[in-house]
Amino acid sequence: MLFNSYPFLLVFLPLTLLAFFTIARVGPLFAAGSLAFASLVFYGLWSPPYVLLLLASVAFNFVMGTRIARIHARDDSRAAKPVLVAAVAVDLAVLGYFKYANFFLGNLAFVTGLHADFARIVLPLGISFYTFTQIAFLVDAYRGKVVEANPVHYALFVTYFPHLIAGPILHHAEMMPQFRDPRIYRVHAENFAVGLSIFAIGLFKKAVLADGIAPLVGPIFATSSASPPDLFLAWGGALAYTCQLYFDFSGYSDMAIGLSRLFGIQLPLNFDSPYKAANVIEFWRRWHMTLSRFLRDYVYFALGGNRRSITRRYVNLLVTMLLGGLWHGAGWTFVAWGGLHGVYLIVNHGWRALVGGNSHAPTRTGRLAARTLTFIAVVIAWVLFRAPDFTTAMNILAGMAGAHGVALPNVVSLHFPAAATLLQGFGVRFTLGGGSVFARMYGWIGALPAIVFLAPNTQEIMGRFRPGLDAAPQVLRVWPQWRPTLGWAFGCAVVAGCGFLSLHRVSEFLYYQF
């Protein structure tokens, strides 16, 4: 089931809210159990058999985690470590089978020439997210950070539907205190006002903006393998996807936070205007923030972090990002995307070491140049992320470099013959048709980045009311600032209505596939 669907908005969400707050009158634990059950129904509507896999994963990790915590309580970390290693190995083996078996078998067949018909394994939705969430739980238990063994709360922690499919990746310590707090089991008008407003913004981002530009992305990436694109088409496709992914993931993050707020539960922020970053280090602190946190705390630090030599630090960065790329998808283009970002981070850290870190405040022009360079680097990497294969990616990147020439729709030459003659002298060619598509594409590309770079993000707009778990209440100097007024209620209703009326087709979130 999708957040951006009529069954979810008109049936599942109202019934789940009604059941949660009604059952809460009986007892908080019963309400938590009802929400966990509703989350399993939410997941099961996609594929009922995989609910059993999810339940098995929850039961296994709860038993292993509580066992590790008990061993740790006896100050016997030596005995706890083999249990931790075994539990994490099982989690990774399950994830590896469902997500990477076909990938590795296909590569083995390519290398050895032994072609066999392998059964296609359907990737369970959200398996990467709930696996990483539980690995974090196991490691935290080993470190002595897990102090509670409530199976109902743990089941809700893992299966909680606002985050189950596409994140954020949660920490046990973030959620368990909230589940124990009796205040979340009572209806609060502020939570509904804030939650519905955030959800409305997210729905608009997804249904109107991301889905609006999406039809312009697919054809370019689908045809570029056989028909290399020219400069404008290549940049148009890359920038269109850059905008689509931004508003798609930003929209999902807002919708997840807004939905959770309706139940009185706050999720951590997962998206903070990453394209405004002035360097790639800052980009990863703003993009998929909980994944970045996981990779830092449980992969990079586990490899040694920056505690050893500079060379080892950079190797750890590269390995972490390669694994991060592989986490996103079972394909060499994802690995290359992660590796490219690893190189970006190495260059960024090396540059900081060379110039003395952040000791010099950049000028406005310098920061603008840094943002522009970072954005271009990110766009180039997104081509690898989106392309179905390296041939497509290389053709688009070559087109962005001008290797396939420059073309404009013939309508330009018809309306501006003098300018067309001048442009032809510089090697620009004019093609028949495509004028309306070209205008639509660059119209979207002109409008959406203006929103990205000039408008405040959702947590800034909602800054007075602590929109995320790790966002302290604050009044920022941005316009507009949300307030619980009739004017804002009307504005949010209009935004929600635009999103609601745009739900004319099924449109999955891009991060569902990960």
Residues labelled as active-site residues: 328
Helices H / strands E in the chain, number of each = 24, 2
Q: What is the CA radius of gyration of the chain?
A: 24
Residues near 370 by Cβ (< 8 Å), separated by ≥ 6? 278, 279, 362
Q: How far apart are CA 401 and CA 412, in angstroms?
A: 23
171, 474 Cβ separation under 8 angstroms = no
C-alpha pair distances (Å), 115 with each of 101, 103, 121, 239, 451 = 15, 13, 17, 38, 49
* Bridge partners of residue 429, in order along the sequence: 407
* Exposed/middle/buried for residue 238 (C-beta within 10 Å: 0-12, 13-18, 19+): buried
Token digits for 265? Answer: 């539960």
C-alpha pair distances (Å), 174 with each of 137, 146, 470 = 11, 11, 9
154, 58 Cβ separation under 8 angstroms = yes
* Bridge partners of residue 430, in order along the sequence: 408
Q: How far apart are CA 203 and CA 226, in angstroms?
A: 36
Q: 457: left (phi > 0), else alpha (psi -120 to 50), else beta?
A: beta
Q: How far apart are CA 88 and CA 80, in angstroms?
A: 12
162, 256 Cβ separation under 8 angstroms = yes
Nearest to 35 by CA among 264, 267, 198: 264
| Residue carrying structure tokens 């995307």 | 337
Whether a cis peptide bond, with omega within 30° of 0, leads into 168 is yes
The amino acid sitting at 192 is F
Measured from the Cβ of residue 466, the count of other Cβ atoms closer than 10 Å reads 16
Q: DSSP characters for 311-374?
A: HHHHHHHHHHHHHHHHHH-SSHHHHHHHHHHHHHHHHHHHHHHHHTTT-SPPPHHHHHHHHHHH
Residues near 52 by Cβ (< 8 Å), separated by ≥ 6? none
